[in-house]
Each structure stands twice: as C-alpha cells, then as structure tokens.
Amino acid sequence: MKNALHTHTELLGLIGHPIKHTFSPMMHNVASQLLDADYLYLPFDISPAELKEGISGLKALGFKGFNVTVPHKEAIFPFLDAVSEEAVVIGAVNCVVNNSGALQGYNTDAFGVQYALDPFREEITGSPVMIFGAGGASRAAVYALIRHYRPSVIHIVNRTVQRAEQIAHHFKQQMHYEGIETSESAPFDTDAIMRGCKLIINTTSLGMTPLTTDSPVSSSEGFTRDQIVFDMVYNPVKTQFLRFAEEKDAVTIEGIKMLVAQGAKSFELWTGKQMPVAEIYDTLLKYLNP
Ligand code: NAP
C-alpha cells in the first residue's frame, strides 16, 4: 500500500449503530489508494448514548471528516457548528467536515439522487412522481426532486402513513411545496396511480440482501415502458423492484449509481479531490450481489 499510515495520514470515518454491511470504508480507502492520496477511512459503532463523546473523540484525534448513518443523522445537529442548506431542509446530516475543530454538516444523499436522475431531467421536470418509503432516504429524494425538477405531484406511499404525512407537512413549510399526496401501502392499490407517474422511486429497504424477493410492489402491473424507475437499494444491484420494471421495458436506475455519487461528494468535501468513480463502481460490483 502506497498510502498506509504515515504520520501525516489524514483520518476519515463513519459513525452509526449498528455498523454492518457498509461499503463506505472500501469505497474511500480504494479511492485514496487509486489517487495515491494519504487518507484512511474507519467505521465506528457508536451508540446514541455515546454520540457526544464519540464526536469529541473524533475531533480530538483530528479526523478530517466522517459520514453519519442511522441512527445519528438527526441527533448530530446540536454538535455541529454549521449546517448546509440541503441538510437543514432535509433535516438529516450524512457527512461532516472538520474545519480545524469547527464541524460543518452536509447531506450528500440529495446530491446522489440528483446525480442519478439528472440524465432524465427533461422527462422528470414538472411530471408526476411516486415514492415508496418515508424515511431519511425519502426525504433526500423529495428535497432533490422539488429543488431540481419541481414535479407536478409527489405521491408518497408508506407502510406507516403518518411518516409520509410528516414529510408532506415538512416540505410544505420548508420549501412551500404543496404537491405531496400520501397513502398507506396496504391495502392501498398503487398500480393505477403508478401507471400515471413518469418517475417511480423505491426508498424503502424492501428487496435488500438477504430478503431479495421482497419489493414494495407485488407485480409489474404498475409499470409502463414510458417510466423511469429508480431503486435506492444497491445490494443486490438488480432488485426485484427493478426486475418488475424491466418486464414492462421501463428505464431503470440502480442504487449503486447513487451510492457512488453520494460517496464521491463526501470524498470531495473532505479531500478536495475527485473520486475515480468509474473504478469505484467496478470495484463495488465485485462485492455486491448481482
Ligand atoms: P429508514 O429511515 O429506516 O426508512 C426505511 C423505510 O423503509 C421506511 O419507509 C419504512 O417504512 C420502510 N420499510 C422498512 N421495512 C419495511 C417493510 N418490511 N415493509 C414495508 N416498508 C418497510 O431508512 P433510510 O435511511 O431511508 O434508507 C432506506 C433504504 O435506502 C435502505 O435500503 C438504504 O440502504 C437505502 N439507501 C441507499 C442509498 C444509496 O446511496 N443508494 C442512500 C441512502 C439510503 P415505515 O416508515 O413504515 O417503517
């Protein structure tokens, strides 16, 4: 290893609880090696009760920056000195830069969503959209959609409809957007509304390895060949949800695209360098289930 552990090695990391099945250390460490840059990225399992001490520890050790994952994405706000516009509006931080002791929070998931959707900007702008799920990833998607593509309507379908309603209320207040409609996933029949949407996004964790036959929809009935279908689940690369969409010849976008883009944005914020995204993409493909 060219970049292993010199005295000037800059430290990067990830905090979450539990920390399992993360591909972030591999992405960032491989990127550093490919660029011959002297960074080391480490994962840390920090419980909610230890969050304050954990952040103090990272600051004391001079970490240049770190990613933040479940369950700390909202809880970290009081420990930050500044927060970017998109992270404030989304209400979640997934990337922190340590500027000589001053912590600045960002949400690079929103950038990842935009990166995945931008090739379809013309089709998406002003069109009806459906989102399955109402967690943190859904909020990042809603932000990116309103900010960049202003959909005519965003239907949010979620198992717990109250969480979808909270998102509708939140974005009405934060971005003055009144086009969010909400539904409960069962027994609500989504197919008819889906067929009228240009873009369909899965932001639930349904379909993730090992439960790869799961999907927010039970058939291909709601898909059409005119649609763009994006699944944020990245392992497996080709989910059941995307397989249903392909049965109807819809255009599909895999979650790995967003995964690499949000990682690349974090890497750039910490190091000022461009992640070699094509190489990282190929590296990830070797470790993810097809
Ligand atoms: P989260 O905040 O925990 O939200 C999870 C969502 O999935 C909620 O809407 C939840 O519904 C729904 N859900 C979970 N289990 C379900 C089940 N058995 N049946 C129906 N709905 C279920 O998680 P998140 O941070 O938003 O992440 C969601 C997914 O996006 C994960 O798979 C994550 O890996 C992926 N993601 C990918 C990227 C990327 O770069 N590709 C980035 C961020 C996230 P309830 O509200 O009813 O619980």
Strands (E), the chain: 10-16, 39-45, 65-68, 82-83, 95-99, 102-106, 128-132, 153-158, 180-184, 199-202, 228-231, 251-253
Which residue is listed with tokens 């943190």?
136
Please indicate, yes or no, if residue 4 is contained in any of the structural domains: no
- To 5 degrees, how large is the angle CA 94–CA 100–CA 104? 25
**Residue range of the domain that includes 203:** 111-253
Say how far apart CA 32 and CA 41 lie, in whole Å. Answer: 9
Check if 112 has its Cβ closer than 6 Å to any atom of ligand 1: yes
Identified catalytic residue from 52, 64, 73, 248: 73
* 212 neighbors 239 (Cβ within 8 angstroms): yes
Say how far apart CA 65 and CA 100 lie, in whole Å. Answer: 10
| Chain segment 207-241, per-residue pLDDT in tens | 999 999 999 999 999 999 999 999 999 999 999 99
Task: Assess whether 248 and 124 both reside in one domain.
Answer: yes
Task: Assess whether 123 and 218 both reside in one domain.
Answer: yes
Task: Assess whether 125 and 28 both reside in one domain.
Answer: no
Is this prediction's pTM over 0.85? yes
Question: Widest CA span of the chain, in angstroms?
Answer: 60
Looking up residue 29, the CATH number of its domain turns out to be 3.40.50.10860
| Chain segment 173-214, per-residue pLDDT in tens | 999 999 999 999 866 678 999 999 999 999 999 999 999 999
- Residue nearest to ligand 1 atom 37, measured at CA: 232
Check if 232 has its Cβ closer than 6 Å to any atom of ligand 1: yes
Task: Assess whether 270 and 185 both reside in one domain.
Answer: no
- Residue 162 dihedral angles phi and psi, to the nearest 5°: -60, -35
* 224 neighbors 191 (Cβ within 8 angstroms): no
Task: Assess whether 238 and 277 both reside in one domain.
Answer: no
Task: Assess whether 270 and 200 both reside in one domain.
Answer: no
Q: What's the pLDDT at 188? A: 66
How many domains does the chain divide into? 2
* Ligand 1: centre distance to CA 5 (Å): 36
* Ligand 1: centre distance to CA 18 (Å): 15
Please indicate, yes or no, if residue 3 is contained in any of the structural domains: no
Task: Assess whether 142 and 244 both reside in one domain.
Answer: yes
| Chain segment 55-86, per-residue pLDDT in tens | 999 999 999 999 999 999 999 999 999 999 99
Half-sphere exposure of 10 (CA within 13 A, CB side): 20
Q: What's the pLDDT at 189? A: 77
- pLDDT band per the 50, 70, 90 thresholds, residue 172: very high
* Ligand 1: centre distance to CA 157 (Å): 12
Q: Would you call 198 a catalytic residue per the annotation?
A: no
Please indicate, yes or no, if residue 1 is contained in any of the structural domains: no
Task: Assess whether 121 and 100 both reside in one domain.
Answer: no
Task: Assess whether 249 and 265 both reside in one domain.
Answer: no
Please indicate, yes or no, if residue 164 is contained in any of the structural domains: yes
The region, left, alpha or beta by phi > 0 then psi within -120 to 50, assigned to residue 115 is alpha
Number of other CB atoms surrounding residue 193 within 10 Å = 17
Task: Assess whether 129 and 186 both reside in one domain.
Answer: yes
Whole-number percent of the chain with pLDDT over 90: 94
| Chain segment 1-17, per-residue pLDDT in tens | 455 556 689 999 999 99
